[in-house]
Amino acid sequence: MIIIIKGNQLTAILDAHIHISSLDDFFHPENYYFLNATHEKNWDLVLAKAELNEKITPFIGIHPWFVPTVKPGWQNKLVALLKEYPRCGVGEIGLDRVKGQSNFDAQMELFTSQLLIAREFHRPVSIHCVHSFDVLFHIFKKNQLTHLQGILHRFEAGVEVVKRLLSLGFSISFYYNLHEREKLKSAFLSCPTDKIFLESDAGEGADDSALLEHYQNNSKLLKIDNTCLIRMIRNNGEILTDTEFNR
């Protein structure tokens, strides 16, 4: 049971990036989750899980690894679902030169289309970006995407990239490997606390025990109480999604 108990107060954690494989995957009823789809076939699954638990915020989109699965009409379906589910974000979307070099042009086109849809409907985005920040910044500049809310998930770049993402208004989510790499620690410490998220990137439901340890390690890095960090990140999530988390 991953609830921090301090006196008589219960404080629930937010996992800023998580996936699902089945409707039966476990999500703790007291915690909060940003649940991401990766391709069109699991949009309905993500939305169904979120309907069962109001503390799950759904994100639907097409991940760059799934470019080969894209079929005509996906935009219309995405738009229809965003209209039907007003608290749904757009994700996981993005760019990946490592696992998708052969179809990178298609990735860029797909990524841009999803960003424009998110902007049209004023929805936050959850972005995957691997060795592609130059292209990401080019796309944002070309399409004047300066007022789009979102998270750069599983961040693995340096301080200068943090600065550029912050200038676009983005928040940044850090994975467990933050504690293993000095470059990521520096990036984390350079990020304002109102722009920080933490995530498990778990594939089959909640990984709350490991995520709680992640919170504890990062509260030590920031030299603040862990309960304070938990509350700050939940507040960040409330601002990002315009959802009233219980504080």
According to the model, what pLDDT value does residue 101 have?
72
Q: No. of H helices and E strands in the chain?
A: 9, 10
Q: What's the number of CA atoms in the CB half-sphere (13 Å) around residue 12?
A: 16
CB 26 within 8 A of CB 53: no
Residue 83 has pLDDT above 60, yes or no: yes
CA 38 to chain centre: 12
| pLDDT-based confidence at residue 173 (cuts at 50, 70, 90) | very high
Q: Which two tokens stand for residue 103?
A: 């179809």
According to the model, what pLDDT value does residue 245 have?
43
Query: How confident is the prediction for the chain on average, in pLDDT?
Result: 92
The Cα angle at residue 192 between residues 175 and 213, in degrees rounded to 5: 35
Q: The whole model's pTM is what?
A: 0.93
According to the model, what pLDDT value does residue 6 have?
39
Q: How many CB atoms lie within 10 A of CB 141?
A: 11
Q: Which two tokens stand for residue 11?
A: 């404080």
| pLDDT-based confidence at residue 106 (cuts at 50, 70, 90) | very high
CB 46 within 8 A of CB 37: yes
Residue 240 has pLDDT above 80, yes or no: yes
Order of strands, edge to edge, in the sheet holding 196-198? 90-96, 125-130, 150-152, 171-174, 196-198
**Taking Cα atoms as reference points, which of 28, 31, 68, 23 lies closest to residue 48?**
23
Mean pLDDT of 41-55: 97
According to the model, what pLDDT value does residue 60 have?
98
